[in-house]
Amino acid sequence: MAYETFAFVYDEVMDETLYQKWLDFSKRHLPSETHNILELACGTGALAVTFAKDGYCVTGLDLSEEMLMIASQRALKEETSIQFVKGNMLDLSETGQYQAITCFSDSLCYMKNEQEVQQVFDEVYQALEDEGRFLFDVHSIYQIDTIFPEYSYHYQNENFAFLWDSYSGKEKHSIEHFLTFFVEEEHGKFIREDELHKEQTYPLDNYLRMLENSGFSKVEAFADFTDEPPKEDSKRLFFVAYKE
């Protein structure tokens, strides 16, 4: 997954209201005594800071050094103490143990296949303390197959322009996002950068089966930031997995 340029304009195009919604969902489904959280795919740290400001002890993990650099600057500016770690969610063997682990913003949809998703679930289970919980969200099949294809979003300000076009991928229930950036450098010159982001999702039952395979004793599924069960036209699926 390439984020070299995306990291620097991510916050410009991200809906900031979603961070509070992820926090609210998490607080409803985490025990009140939860203190220690590992946030997978933490990106530019906006959600990590939101958690930290609410009193949680947060560790943020991400593959992108560019994202983590911005995250560290954000945490410093917001006067929050957050440990940011460069790492891959496919291997959490050296990240320690946590009361809760989160993976929001459909980050799991960037896994290459179902086997990698299963591997993430296995790693998360081992990194959770007993009685720990794993909270995450993914795109629904409805979102991938019906909403995203032919999606087009264009954004610009004085310093850059951002083009986002989505098309159905080759694999079942997959989508490809073509991102083009025109970023201003010194002396008013603009450079062009292109990135391709691939996402894939699976039926609800597949996620439930994989979580069970990893050892989670109980799994709850919700939709679109609510505590309501998923429907056929739900756009985003939320999961709360319990480790005994």
pLDDT digits (tens, 9 = 90+) for 17-69: 999 999 999 999 999 999 999 999 999 999 999 999 999 999 999 998 888 98
**Model pTM?**
0.92
24-33, 38-47, 83-92, 182-191: least confidently modelled range: 182-191
Enclosing domain of residue 177: 143-200
* pLDDT confidence tier of residue 11, bands split at 50, 70 and 90: low
What mean pLDDT is reported for the chain? 93
**Are 66 and 161 members of one domain?**
no
Report the alpha-carbon distance of residue 134 to residue 124 in Å, rounded: 7
For the residues 147-163, what does the mean pLDDT come to? 88
Mean pLDDT, residues 194-212 taken together: 96
93 and 33 part of one domain: yes
77, 178: one domain: no
168 and 183 in a common domain: yes
| Pair 130, 102 in one domain | yes
Which CATH number characterizes residue 153's domain?
2.20.25.110
Domain annotation covers residue 1: no
DSSP, collapsed to helix, strand or coil, labels residue 120 as: helix
- Does residue 155 fall inside a structural domain? yes
Tell me whether strands 57-62 and 236-242 are parallel, antiparallel or unpaired: unpaired
Q: Are residues 96 and 217 in the same domain?
A: yes
Residue 185 — very low, low, confident or very high, per pLDDT cuts 50/70/90?
Answer: confident
Task: Please check whether residues 13 and 43 belong to one and the same domain.
Answer: yes
Q: How confident is the model at residue 6 (pLDDT cuts 50, 70, 90)?
A: low
Report the distance separating Cα 133 and Cα 31, nearest Å. Answer: 9
Are 120 and 236 part of one and the same domain? yes
The tokens describing 225, both together, are 């930031």
Compute, in degrees rounded to 10, the torsion defined by CA atoms 106, 13, 22, 142: -40
- The structural domain count of the chain equals 2
Percentage of the chain beyond pLDDT 90 is: 79
Residues 6+ apart with CB under 8 A from 146: none
Q: Could you tell me if 243 and 215 are in contact, meaning their C-beta atoms sit under 8 angstroms apart?
A: yes
pLDDT at 211 over 70: yes
Distance between CA atoms of 163 and 95, rounded to whole angstroms?
36
Specify whether 15 is located in the same domain as 85: yes
Banded pLDDT at 1 (limits 50, 70, 90): very low
Q: Is residue 182 part of a domain?
A: yes
